[in-house]
Chains A and B, each alone.
Chain A
Amino acid sequence: MPFQMTELAFLEQLAHRFSLPVPEYLTASATRMKIRDALQRWRGKGVVKADVMSGGRGKAKVVTVVEDVQQAMAQLRRLANAEVGGMHARTSYITQFIPADLQVYSAVTYDSRFCGPSLTVSMKGGVDIESVEERHKQTIPVDVFKGLDAYQASQLFEGLACPKPLISILSRTLVSFWDMFISTGMRMCEVNPWRVGPDNAPYACDFKAVFDEANYKLKEADLEFPEYPESATEFEEDMAAWDASSYRGQAHVSELGGDLVLPILFGGGAGTIIAETLEAAGGRPIFLSDFGGNPPYERMVGTAERCFRYHLAGASALLILGGKANNTLIDVTFQAIGDALARHFEERGRVEIPVVIGRGGPRMVPGFLAMRETLESLRLPYVIFGHDTPVTLVAEYAARLAKFVKTRKEARRAT
């Protein structure tokens, strides 16, 4: 998953660094006494929230207003284990309740229409921005070199009929907001809402950001990204670490929850199409993968070994499929996959599974022969297609074959 950040990490690491006004907060580890004192300071009202990597409507269920310490403690305990849309909370925290007459939405992101950064603002914050009518929100491009200036922001607020006394402070706040965006290598950040109270001061009351791993500023920002318990399966975590261990060749996987076809796929584009075709044809792919980018032998061996270790035993067909490669050397990748398969059999025992292969590209002929030799020596059934057979047809065939094998397996087990 890309580097992301939600409100608690923002409160802990970013808000003060960029002088962004935020409510006071305490984490779930705070003592009862500290919470009681804080509630007194906050005029008896706090907001308990789950720290969960999820946004949108479902998140409202894990935000609750509390008015005394008993309620606060109970809600902190409850929400520390909350779940939203399959995502589990990491912890919970309590923030000062900000009474507000006005809620403002703001986001900075890179926008395909301008091919650069843009700022979106609405005076109808606190709700899903997609549900806000177009006339109530405005998006403007921001010069990536010069950045956002307060005048530009004030023009935007004027256009949205922002109360005049607020324009100056909101504009200055958005300039700091932009500074945070551009200084830390973000791809997108959103505050929804800024709650503006009777004192005309805005407070950032929810936050999310996505960072650009390719941006050197992210490394220099020295941020800590909390780990969320449900964000990846063990296989995904293992593969993510393996992927990050080298820049040569990709090792991306995302589990899809299927149980039939184990797909070793090459190329992001082809991989997506193949996974869709498998799914549509009932092939229930176990995961989505992209192992392209011309991986060297050791890289491909390691990738294949991990796939086999986690999923070969439960699969009903092994599919090795990609389009006609431009750079990826077929003999290197196929020899590596074959060797990993042979090693898996030696170390973990044989698996009876048909292998369906489709590929084209540099050094395909020795690659196919190496793979065929391995499959012959392992005595596995196989079908190998060249690049003249469309990948989607191969995927459909693999799906049908896997379904047959699974049915046969189940029938045998029943007898």
Chain B
Amino acid sequence: MSTPEHTEHSEHSEYIDVETGKMGMWLFLFTELFLFGGLFIVYAVMRARYGEDFHHAALELNAFIGATNTVVLLVSSMTVAMSLTAIQKSQKNLAVGLIFCTLLLAGVFMINKYFEYGHKFSLHLYPGSDVMRNLPKGEIMFFGLYFLMTGLHLFHVVVGGILLTIVMLRVKSGKINKEHFLLHENGALYWHLVDLIWIFLFPLLYLIT
């Protein structure tokens, strides 16, 4: 590992080991990969078993909203990557602005999800409803996985949003700067993970009908 760096700016000295801090974040991301990976395996096996039902159920999803959200997340991934470039170039205001853009896009994603879930609820398609209980077994499985996977992903969007808000405030106050931006880097890594998961969720749930 690299030599721990000594912060001279804070009143009390503090050791920050950037390389280890980043590796810790990656280890956490690995656990996230297996959290969603497990669900993808359940999806794959159930799809192999109930192909017809999955086909019918997937037609119910709005591919347009799914595609819009894909674009929204990809653009937000770029803005957060750019904010890291900005902080490394000491362009503080630009960095704040770019993180703010990312947060706005996260908001757009959540609004889209609100309408999408709202539509499902108006059709009484939610786990435990009478309509859903009477569907074929495979369709119940599909909608169950749909709500679980997109819901868990949505939770990650919310957490990522909170994390990036903290990063934005710290960039604003100067706590995160050209020399010290480990939290910014790790926040960005988390946000990219949210994007990565959606890259797989989108074709598997919305497109392959």
Please indicate whether A and B come from the same complex rather than being unrelated chains. no
Interface residues of chain A, those whose CB is within 8 Å of chain B, are none
